[in-house]
Copies of this chain bind each other. A is one copy, B any other.
Amino acid sequence: MARATAQDADPQTGTEPRPRGRGDRDLVDSLVEVLQERISTGEIPAGTWLRQEHLATELGVSRMPVREALRQLQAVGTVEMIANRGARVRLPSTRDIMEVYELHGVLQAHAGTAAAELITSGQLDRLSRAEAMFRQAVDELRAADSDPAAVQRRWHEANTEFHSVIIEASGNKLLADVVESLHRKVPRNLTWIALGSDVRRLERDAAEHAAILDALTRGDGATAGTLLREHAKRASELLVRTVDEIGQEATPARRR
C-alpha cells in the first residue's frame, strides 16, 4: 500500500501517488468525505472501531490528518470518540431513527409547502425526470432483478434527486445542510435492506412521488406538504421495524 509520506513525495511513487498539489483542497476534508461515504454506504458498518494507524496506511497518509478527520466526524455525530480508546462508528438506536424521520418529515413538509410557490419550470422538469427514473427502477426491480446492486444505485439516486430538488426549490440553502446532517445519522444500506425486501412498498412510494409531483405542479403547497410528511412517516415506521428485526443480532464484529 502506498504510504505517500513526505519522504516519498516524489512524483513516481507508483500506486496512486496522490496529485499532491498542496492546496488543491484540504486533505483532511477529502478524508472526511471518503470515510463518511464508506460509513453511509455501510461498507464500514456501525460499531466498527476506526483505528488511526490502520486508516492512515490504508489511505496513504500519516495518522495526523486521519485524527483531524475523525474529529470532524465526531462533531457531526457520525462517530463517537471514547477517551484513550478511539473512534467508533455510531449505531443509531431505533429511537434515533424515529427522531430522525420525524424531523425529516417536518422539514420535508415545510420544503414542499415553500417549494410550491417558488419552484421553477426547470426544477419541475428535474423532479419529473427523477420521478420517472424512480418508477423505472422499481419496475425493473419487479420484472427481472437483473442486477440488484445497479438497480439499488439508480433507485437511490432517483430518490435522492427527487427530494433534493424539492429542498432546493424551497429556497432555503441551509435546509439542505440540515437534512443532509439528518441523513448522515442513518446509514443508507439500512434503507435499502428495509425497502429492498418489500416491492409493494416501493410501488407505493413511486405512487406517492407522483402525487407529490402533481401537487407541486399545481402549486398546491398544502397538499404537497401533507403528502411529504406522511411519506416520511411511513418510511420511519418501516425503518424502525427493520432495525428492530436486525437489531436482535449482537454488535458487529471488529474491523481488521
Secondary structure of the A side of the interface?
A: helix
Chain B interface: which of A10-18, A45-53, A66-74, A138-146?
A66-74
Binary B-proximity of A141-170 (CB < 8 A = 1, otherwise 0): 000000000000000000000000000000
Q: Is A202 an interface residue (CB 8 A)?
A: no
For the complex, what is the distance from the CA of A68 to the CA of B70, rounded to whole Å? 9
Task: Establish whether residues A26 and B81, one from each chain, have CB atoms under 8 Å apart when the complex forms.
Answer: yes
For the complex, what is the distance from the CA of A174 to the CA of B77, rounded to whole Å? 11
Please indicate the chain B residues that have their CB under 8 angstroms from the CB of A100 in the complex. Answer: 174
Q: Is A84 an interface residue (CB 8 A)?
A: yes
For the complex, what is the distance from the CA of A26 to the CA of B75, rounded to whole Å? 13
Q: Is A106 an interface residue (CB 8 A)?
A: yes
Task: Establish whether residues B107 and A103, one from each chain, have CB atoms under 8 Å apart when the complex forms.
Answer: yes
Please indicate the chain B residues that have their CB under 8 angstroms from the CB of A185 in the complex. Answer: 174
**Which residues of A in the span 38-86 have a Cβ within 8 Å of any Cβ on B?**
67-69, 71-77, 81, 83-84
For the complex, what is the distance from the CA of A77 to the CA of B173, rounded to whole Å? 14
- The interface of chain A, by Cβ under 8 A from chain B, is 22-23, 25-26, 28, 32, 67-69, 71-77, 81, 83-84, 95-96, 99-100, 102-103, 106-107, 110, 172-175, 177-178, 181-182, 185
Chosen A-B contacts, 23 in total, with CB atoms closer than 8 Å, are A23-B84, A67-B68, A68-B68, A68-B71, A69-B71, A71-B71, A71-B75, A72-B72, A72-B74, A72-B75, A73-B75, A75-B76, A76-B76, A77-B177, A99-B172, A99-B173, A103-B107, A103-B110, A103-B174, A103-B178, A106-B106, A178-B178, A178-B182
